[in-house]
């Protein structure tokens, strides 16, 4: 029988919640994988079903776990591609969504600037990895991205040809580096584009672009990625459902 290791002054359900969250953060289960049943966890930790259920309820409320009717409880895998379609109109003439292709323009290790250190909650001058990426639809550039990662957990990326790995980075983070993106905060702004990004996007310098800035976090809440995605205003849309 496993013992709970957190503060004994806390209620049992809180201690179990902390134990399970620690296991999720340590990749004991993979994103999308089912955790043991409530009965199994109750037996493993010597707790009542009600206590286990309350702990799981907390993790579901925090969007770390999700219940699937008739199947069990799973490590939640967030759908980050949805933000592209919330803010940009990427679709064909039939109205079908199209995921932009990916072209990595550069991958470099370098000291973090103060802005990057702040975004990733790193010590000043810490080593980071910068990716510069272009997203294309049918060969036409639609997004120019600058992506920053703390170097130590993402070191394997420096030895990989990312252009051979498909358009999505998060599966690479997970499979190659063991880093799972669990949540993200996004902000939306508009600005005139500088000369470098204007050239990438094939537009005039100072043209209006929409910028999605994202801080992506692991299950522990620690920032793992900071990115700025710039897209020409002609592709911009805003979509929200109000109930």
3-class secondary structure per residue, the chain: CCCCCCCCCCCHHHHHHHHHHHHHHCCCCCCCCECCCHHHHHHHHCCCHHHHHHHHHHHHHCCCEEEECCCEEEECCCCCCHHHHHHECCECCCCCECCCEEEEEEEEEEECCHHHHHHHCCCCCCEEEEEEEEEEECCEEEEEEEEEEEHHHHHHHHHCCHHHCCCCCHHHHHHHHCCCCCEEEEEEEEEECCHHHHHHHCCCCCCEEEEEEEEEECCCCCEEEEEEEEEEHHHECCCCCCC
Predicted confidence at residue 82, as pLDDT, reads 56
Which residue's structure tokens are 């592709």?
235
What's the whole-model pTM score? 0.73
Q: Is the pLDDT of residue 130 over 80?
A: yes
pLDDT digits (tens, 9 = 90+) for 94-120: 667 777 888 999 999 999 999 999 999
Q: How far apart are CA 153 and CA 27, in angstroms?
A: 14
Q: How many domains does the chain have?
A: 2
User: Is residue 242 situated within a structural domain?
Assistant: no
Q: Tell me the pLDDT band of 17, cut-offs 50, 70 and 90.
A: confident
Which domain does 107 fall in, by range?
82-235
Predicted confidence at residue 100, as pLDDT, reads 81
pLDDT digits (tens, 9 = 90+) for 197-239: 999 999 999 999 999 899 999 888 899 999 999 988 777 766 6
Mean pLDDT across 166-185: 85
Mean pLDDT across 163-174: 84
pLDDT digits (tens, 9 = 90+) for 49-59: 998 899 888 88
Predicted confidence at residue 92, as pLDDT, reads 62
Query: Among 45, 75, 105, which residue terminates a domain?
Result: 75
Predicted confidence at residue 29, as pLDDT, reads 80
User: Is residue 187 situated within a structural domain?
Assistant: yes
- Shared domain for 127 and 66, answered yes or no, is no
Predicted confidence at residue 112, as pLDDT, reads 95
Predicted confidence at residue 87, as pLDDT, reads 61
Q: For residue 132, what is the domain's CATH number?
A: 3.40.1410.10
pLDDT digits (tens, 9 = 90+) for 69-97: 888 898 887 665 555 556 666 666 666 77
- Shared domain for 132 and 24, answered yes or no, is no
- Shared domain for 130 and 231, answered yes or no, is yes
């Amino acid at each position: 029988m496993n013992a709970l290791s957190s503060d004994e002054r806390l209620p049992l359900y809180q201690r179990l919640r902390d134990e399970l969250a620690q296991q999720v953060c340590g990749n004991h289960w993979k994103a999308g994988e089912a955790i043991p049943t409530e009965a199994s966890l109750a037996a493993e930790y010597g707790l009542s079903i009600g206590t286990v259920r309350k702990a799981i309820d907390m993790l579901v409320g925090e969007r770390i776990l999700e219940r699937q009717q008739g199947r069990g409880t799973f490590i939640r895998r967030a759908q980050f591609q949805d933000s592209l379609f919330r803010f940009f109109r990427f679709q064909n003439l039939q109205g079908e969504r199209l995921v932009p292709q990916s072209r990595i323009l550069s991958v470099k290790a370098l000291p973090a600037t103060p802005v990057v250190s702040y975004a990733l909650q790193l010590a000043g001058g810490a080593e980071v990895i910068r990716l510069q990426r272009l997203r294309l639809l049918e060969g036409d550039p639609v997004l120019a991205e600058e992506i920053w990662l703390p170097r130590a957990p993402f070191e394997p990326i420096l030895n990989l040809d990312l252009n051979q790995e498909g358009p999505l980075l998060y599966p690479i983070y997970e499979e190659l580096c063991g880093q799972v993106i669990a949540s993200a905060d996004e902000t939306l702004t508009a600005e005139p584009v500088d000369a470098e990004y204007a050239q990438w996007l094939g537009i005039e310098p100072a043209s209006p672009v929409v910028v999605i800035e994202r801080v992506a976090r692991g299950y522990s809440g620690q920032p793992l990625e900071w990115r700025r995605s710039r897209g020409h205003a002609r592709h911009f849309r805003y979509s929200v459902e109000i109930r």
